[in-house]
Amino acid sequence: MRLEILSLAVIVGACNWAFRYFPTRANLHELPPGSPVTRFLAATGPAAIGTLFVASALPLVKDLSGPAPLTLGAGVGAVLLVYAISRSVVIATLAGAIAYGGAFWLFATSS
């Protein structure tokens, strides 16, 4: 393995660990509600979810043949609908996973 790749993996891993460890150990109760640090920490969750969604959806959208776009649409539609009704991220995520799995099973057994 090349040294550049190994050092990049170590740096990214260390930053990822610090990014996850810091908020759990830091005393954030004294931060003012509108401070830049508070806004940054509040924005990291949705940014991480958006990044993971785009990274997982791009291969499905790239190939528009087959059931992949339909299963993706079922999952995304279920998440949006359930979240709009319940305002619960947990229930919406579970509904999206169930809808995606159900659509995948439906299209996999029908072909």
Question: Does residue 41 sit in the same domain as residue 87?
Answer: no
**Which comes out higher in pLDDT, residue 4 or 108?**
4
Per-residue pLDDT band for 111 (boundaries 50, 70, 90) equals: low
pLDDT in tens, 17-42: 887 787 777 777 787 888 888 888 77
In angstroms, the CA 56 to CA 38 distance is: 28
* pLDDT tier at 84, thresholds 50, 70, 90: very high
Say if residue 49 is in the same domain as residue 4: yes
Other C-beta atoms closer than 10 Å to the C-beta of 48 total 11
Q: Which domain holds residue 107?
A: 63-111
Residue 22 falls inside a structural domain: yes
Q: Is residue 65 pLDDT above 80, yes or no? A: no
Whole-number Å distance between alpha carbons of 70 and 66: 8
Q: Is residue 58 part of a domain?
A: no
User: Which residue do the tokens 């393995």 mark?
Assistant: 1
Q: State the pLDDT at residue 2.
A: 85
3 and 23 share a domain?
yes
103 close to 75: Cβ distance less than 8 angstroms? yes
The per-residue pLDDT for range 8-19, each reduced to its tens digit, is: 999 998 988 887
